[in-house]
Amino acid sequence: MTPSARDWTPEEDLLGFFGPDSVTWRVHADPVFSVGGLRALLLQALHPVAMDGVATLSEGFRTDPWPRLARTAAYVDTVTFGTRREAVRAVRRVRGIHRRLAGVEPESGRAYRVDDPDLLLWVHCCEVDSLLDVARRAAVVTTDTDADRYVAEQVTAAALVGCTEAEVPRTVAELAGYFARVRPSLALTPAARDAMRLVVTPPMPAWVRFLTPARPAWGTLASLAVATLPQWARRMYSLPGFGVTDPAATGAVRAFRLAVLRLPQRARRSPIVWAGLERVARAQPVSA
């Protein structure tokens, strides 16, 4: 059941579901978050049923993926950095959409709803694994304790969206165990192959391609996302080496982070993230 404003104090509402002392805020506010987000999309595409839901039920996914990407990013930012009221409103909108969407995966013949718990869990675990992997490569998360804290904190996000809480991994080891169990059911379907092409080379208007740095900037993000995928996922995409070693991928992520940190502060984070940071900062007592 989605929580309501009766379940928390005004102070808890202001801090949101995670708060500034959480590992979640540290990971989700960092520039490498965008790399982890694309990595998550590539992992998620390897689940045939989950990918069928995106390919057949997401309006305009193939021709114009940008609105969906923007909605997904805004949702994660709001659940992370919004007040609890704002987060719950976002969750209710998403769950309302999910309830209306259903399909049949053609290869297996499985009838599914988008909000089936196992599909929600797959999407959640791909996101957590990807964001944590990239954050660890970038030295945003440096200890095993903080890595486990991040996985445990994200159980809250999983429960909000409708996962069965008892089945959600709470440690890095449990997360690895989940992927070991689910890997035999994964496959590179034609829809997954199309999704990878969209992630790596998304359609852009001609003026964006030729008059802005969007294409090379996106190419950098996509290359890092592919390079940081687990070896088994790269094999499924027929990109086992991708021209880089694992240490080289880690070095590239760190170099990307350093480059982005040189940009003006407002260019590094979304308005939703900044609003959350500023809201909490205003509420902190001023020391004498």
Query: What tokens were used for 224?
Result: 């890092």
Rama region for 101: left / alpha / beta (φ>0; ψ in -120 to 50; rest): beta
- Angle at which helix 33-44 crosses helix 66-81, to 10 degrees, equals 120
pLDDT tens, the chain, 288 aa long? 677 767 888 999 999 999 999 999 999 999 999 999 999 999 999 999 999 999 898 766 777 777 888 899 999 999 999 999 999 999 999 999 999 999 999 999 999 999 999 999 999 999 999 999 999 999 999 999 999 999 999 999 999 999 999 999 999 999 999 999 999 999 999 999 999 998 888 877 776 677 677 778 888 999 999 999 999 999 999 986 555 678 899 999 999 999 999 988 777 788 999 999 999 998 876 543
Q: What is the pLDDT of residue 264?
A: 82
Q: What is the pTM of this model?
A: 0.92
pLDDT of residue 211: 60
